């Protein structure tokens, strides 16, 4: 069995539709919307193609009309694009985002997985980078072999004892210093972190057509092109 794991799509349908991997199941770790120009298309794709999905803070913000609680550097980008997203997604799409689970436990081929967007103790908002000592405590909240998380937009695989914490990185807004979309694959009992190029300028062109404030457009463009602000 091959499972493709993606996270933090952020309305970037160009990256999503360019996804090159063949898979038996598609798992999505949240944040389908905001920041990108085509949130509705992303929601529809995920609804149709994915096997399991958990709710991210940006999905929660659209589903429940609330602040996604982004860092100050991203706050204006989040505010502007959240208003846009809320104006273009349908009621059914909002309902879908609102009803996504905060976490899931799944077993495949005798391996147990725990899925959440951020971290088990704070599944929507908890920010925990790869090297953080917090992961040891976070594993106390789960009893599975593998913990799958997103939220930081940076990919990693970290072994703690006999267990793994895996972040596939971001498909729609990677923060790796490069524009390539990130994801993970689980096959034959092991993980691979992968990337692929896509037509970044297509996404940027669609963002520019939305006539956001110039500083917001410039920041969003910089993130997409450079993988950083």
Mean pLDDT, to the nearest integer, of 122-144? 96
Whether pLDDT at 158 is above 90: yes
pLDDT at 128: 95
Alpha-carbon distance 188 to 116, whole Å?
A: 22
Alpha-carbon distance 203 to 205, whole Å?
A: 5
pTM of the model: 0.97
Fold of 2-104+170-226: Purple Acid Phosphatase; chain A, domain 2 (3.60.21)
Mean pLDDT, to the nearest integer, of 150-162? 97
Q: What is the pLDDT of residues 63-84, one digit of tens each?
A: 999 999 999 999 999 999 999 9
Mean pLDDT, to the nearest integer, of 104-133? 97
Q: What is the pLDDT of residues 2-44, one digit of tens each?
A: 999 999 999 999 999 999 999 999 999 999 999 999 999 999 9
Q: 3-state DSSP call for residue 190? A: strand
Where along the chain do its domains lie?
A: 2-104+170-226
pLDDT at 219: 97
Whether pLDDT at 191 is above 80: yes
Alpha-carbon distance 54 to 225, whole Å?
A: 27
Q: Walk across the sheet containing 190-196 and list its strands.
A: 52-53, 25-28, 2-6, 181-187, 190-196
Whether pLDDT at 229 is above 80: no
Instruction: Give the pLDDT band of residue 228 (cuts 50, 70, 90).
Output: confident
Alpha-carbon distance 30 to 10, whole Å?
A: 9
Contacting residues for 105 by C-beta, under 8 A, at least 6 apart: 112, 113, 114, 115, 142, 144
Alpha-carbon distance 215 to 56, whole Å?
A: 25
Work out the mean pLDDT of the chain and round it to a whole number: 97
pLDDT at 50: 98
Give the DSSP letter of residue 183. E
Give the DSSP letter of residue 133. T
């Amino acid at each position: 069995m091959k499972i493709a794991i993606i996270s933090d799509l952020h309305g970037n349908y160009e990256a999503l539709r360019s996804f090159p991997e063949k898979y038996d199941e598609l798992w999505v770790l949240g944040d389908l919307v905001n920041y990108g120009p085509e949130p509705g298309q992303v929601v529809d794709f995920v609804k149709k193609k994915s096997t399991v999905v958990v709710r991210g803070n940006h999905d929660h913000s659209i589903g429940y009309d609330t602040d996604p609680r982004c860092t100050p550097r991203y706050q204006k980008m989040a505010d502007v694009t959240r208003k846009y997203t809320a104006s273009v997604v349908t009621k059914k799409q909002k309902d879908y985002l609102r009803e996504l689970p905060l976490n899931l436990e799944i077993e495949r081929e005798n391996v147990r997985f725990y899925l959440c967007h951020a971290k088990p103790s704070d599944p929507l908002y908890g920010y925990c980078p790869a090297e953080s000592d917090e992961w040891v405590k976070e594993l106390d909240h789960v009893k599975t072999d593998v913990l799958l998380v997103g939220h930081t937009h940076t990919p990693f695989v970290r072994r703690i004892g006999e267990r793994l914490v895996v972040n596939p990185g971001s498909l729609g807004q990677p923060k790796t210093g490069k524009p390539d979309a990130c994801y993970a694959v689980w096959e034959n009992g092991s993980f691979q972190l992968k990337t692929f190029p896509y037509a970044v300028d297509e996404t940027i062109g669609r963002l520019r057509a939305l006539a956001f404030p110039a500083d917001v457009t410039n920041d969003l463009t910089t993130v997409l092109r450079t993988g950083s602000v």
